[in-house]
Structure 1
């Protein structure tokens, strides 16, 4: 029996669009703090706010985009997101004050949150159910590659060309993606009158998909652990005099994810989510432990391999689970619920962890985060893993 086709025109378009979305996100994340400092003499905390307020805008947008996407239409929501993103990116050229920058960064995050929620929902609808894990894994590579290439190019352009070139590159990529999605065919979801009535009002169920809560809660804790790497790896590497090697951490992380993703996606579909989820927690925890004991450069690179196999696998698999457990007409809410919790963990992490670093140090921080991630293995078992095992046994017996 032939497997349904995965690599369709629509899958390629939405994956490429998502890559450019996250590429511009990561490129500006590493540029905007320096931009705020150099252009407006912002303090370190103000520069950090200029960077981080983007995530707040994305969180707010995901709440309302997930609620509205099926009523308004998936493709229309994607258009809206791209328009907001393009307009606010163009506004960077005329930003003339720190307060203007704050407002524009927030709105830029809104555009990103709307567009990325739409791409995540659309790709779930074009991936065949029989290849859910594999397809989501390949799609998630767009984020992995963007996380590796975006920061590198952003830092290079800042050093050799200037801030405006960053804004030009982002504008061109957004326009190109916007043009491409016009050729995207999105499966329509016809809602019943009862489903439409249920989506009215400001009920919790209109902003979140309850069936996605278990995996979303776990994602918040895993994202919390990953935030320790995103935020403090540079400072840690400076403390242990391994800055040059640490700059290659995310390249190694991306390479490990690229190597493992095709296999883990197929295992997800053939053997079930538990087969890939339990090892992902353990490998991620090992990566954090290796990082905590880094005395030579190869420790950091080895940690990048384990984190790529662990966190990289978790990301795509958890997203696939959130869509798998949700009703088809609530895929948008399931996608936004997953990312809201994940982004919250990554966003809150740096603020809370910063209080512990003076007490336990960076090595203690990564040991603590390894424990948190390992505990997620137990949390996963009770919230989802044992149910997945029972469902698999029932399906095999049928």
Structure 2
């Protein structure tokens, strides 16, 4: 704190300079920000003479900027299209292209392969060629490949279009995640990423519902026309979005262009990314088998409402979890996510009533929904700004991989264990992920911090 002439105190922190006008006795201190960065222009500080003008002033950097809102909106629309199409592609392949059930499943799932390929390449490309250019390129490619559905008249062509559409989705979604991760102030990173991740949760709830409703009343061609209009809205929003590009030296640019494993995968986040793989593998049991399991139990209504309850619980908990992440640290948030996911999956394994399945949906939402966004926040926290793109893509590659291979691995246990046994297995596996998190991330972080603290003391 800097002492100024009587009646005025100048206060400076890392980003703000305030002149505080005060009067003796009880009253209010009127703080006027004269820094150039946007913040609250006039702030009132209640104080008393006994405090002798000793107080703590905390000014939150802005989170809800125009760029943050537009990027979150673009991400929401990108995911809406993905979830709309993923629930109707299989039935469209069966009804229009005479595909078998397994062929239709491949038509739906091959999209993930394109997404994985795109994420691996886009992570470093987004920093080499620019974040906004990659966002434009990803959305344009997403637009072109969405239009290609109009020409699909055979199963091989459907496979090709789905793969290419997955590439467009992967590039665009990686770009939006990288942009927003760099845009959020460090002090509000957990909170910001959790709010941003709500766009995915809402899309996961609205997209499938919208897709199934439209399929009942409109042709596949009309649905694709709607999707094209949504992608055009994404493109329009991207053009007016302000994106802060990172400035990198030519030497650093040359390093990024070098082909090596670290060019595509960020070693610093592999620990939390591996944990994410196993958590996603456990959660894939819900995406892949819940509908069939609910049918076996004659709980189809509860099975339909499961994801609505899931989305509601995620929507409520994510803002709270984000604030706790920033205030209490990642461990305070992460360990309960493993416990909640385990409880939800174990409850599914013994479900016989509708209310039990819906309660399981709440716990699964609290578990997986909270883990996904806060795992991303950890990844951003671990790397320099120039590596955010690679770090985010590494994390989502492992999540997508877990969701992709999970059904094949867990499906092998259907015969000996049944669906109830599978949910018991993944419930125990989710709890075990807490130990994996400690071993691959928390323990190493604590060791590194102890070493750094020891080095400071010696200095």
Fold in common (TM above 0.5)? yes
Structure 2 residue aligned with 1:119: 176
Equivalent in 162, 175, 188 of residue 131 of structure 1: 188
Structure 1 residue aligned with 2:150: 93
Query: Structure 1 residues 357 and 289, CA, compared in 2 at 3 Å: closer, same or farther?
Result: same
**DSSP 3-state at the match of 1:173:** helix
Structure 2 residue aligned with 1:272: 329
Preserved contact between residue 349 and residue 424 of structure 2 (Cα < 8 Å): yes
Preserved contact between residue 194 and residue 373 of structure 2 (Cα < 8 Å): yes
- Residue 218 in structure 1 maps to residue 275 in structure 2: yes
Equivalent in 21, 32, 39 of residue 78 of structure 2: 21
Equivalent in 145, 156, 167 of residue 110 of structure 1: 167
Structure 1 residue aligned with 2:345: 288
Equivalent in 335, 343, 355 of residue 400 of structure 2: 343
- Structure 1 residue 164 displacement after superposition: 2.1
Equivalent in 206, 216, 223 of residue 166 of structure 1: 223
CA distance in structure 2 between the aligned counterparts of 1:182 and 1:68, rounded to whole angstroms:
19
Give the unaligned 5+ runs of structure 2.
Answer: 1-57
**DSSP 3-state at the match of 1:247:** helix
- Residue 10 in structure 1 maps to residue 85 in structure 2: no
CA distance in structure 2 between the aligned counterparts of 1:186 and 1:306, rounded to whole angstroms:
36
Equivalent in 246, 250, 269 of residue 303 of structure 2: 246
CA distance in structure 1 between the aligned counterparts of 2:150 and 2:192, rounded to whole angstroms:
38
| TM-score normalised by length of structure 2 | 0.85
CA distance in structure 1 between the aligned counterparts of 2:115 and 2:398, rounded to whole angstroms:
12
Specify which structure has the higher proportion of helix.
1
Structure 2 residue aligned with 1:202: 259
- Structure 1 residue 392 displacement after superposition: 7.4
Query: Structure 1 residues 355 and 2, CA, compared in 2 at 3 Å: closer, same or farther?
Result: same
- Residue 70 in structure 1 maps to residue 127 in structure 2: yes
Preserved contact between residue 32 and residue 51 of structure 1 (Cα < 8 Å): yes
CA distance in structure 2 between the aligned counterparts of 1:256 and 1:45, rounded to whole angstroms:
33
Q: Deviations over 1:167-217 (max 9, x none)?
A: 122111110011011111111211123322222332001111111101100
Preserved contact between residue 189 and residue 377 of structure 2 (Cα < 8 Å): yes
Preserved contact between residue 128 and residue 257 of structure 2 (Cα < 8 Å): no
CA distance in structure 2 between the aligned counterparts of 1:248 and 1:135, rounded to whole angstroms:
28
Equivalent in 353, 370, 378 of residue 321 of structure 1: 378
Map 1:305-316 → 2, pairs under 5 A: 305-316=362-373
Q: Deviations over 1:283-302 (max 9, x none)?
A: 01000011111100001100
CA distance in structure 2 between the aligned counterparts of 1:389 and 1:8, rounded to whole angstroms:
34
CA distance in structure 2 between the aligned counterparts of 1:201 and 1:71, rounded to whole angstroms:
11
Instruction: Work out the number of aligned pairs and report it.
Output: 397
CA distance in structure 1 between the aligned counterparts of 2:236 and 2:291, rounded to whole angstroms:
37
CA distance in structure 2 between the aligned counterparts of 1:92 and 1:347, rounded to whole angstroms:
23
CA distance in structure 1 between the aligned counterparts of 2:108 and 2:80, rounded to whole angstroms:
15
Preserved contact between residue 257 and residue 312 of structure 1 (Cα < 8 Å): yes
- Residue 58 in structure 1 maps to residue 58 in structure 2: no
Highest relative contact order (Cα 8 Å, sep 6+), 1 or 2?
1
| TM-score normalised by length of structure 1 | 0.97
CA distance in structure 1 between the aligned counterparts of 2:448 and 2:305, rounded to whole angstroms:
41
Query: Structure 1 residues 297 and 136, CA, compared in 2 at 3 Å: closer, same or farther?
Result: same
- Residue 356 in structure 1 maps to residue 419 in structure 2: no
**DSSP 3-state at the match of 1:187:** coil
Give the unaligned 5+ runs of structure 1.
Answer: none
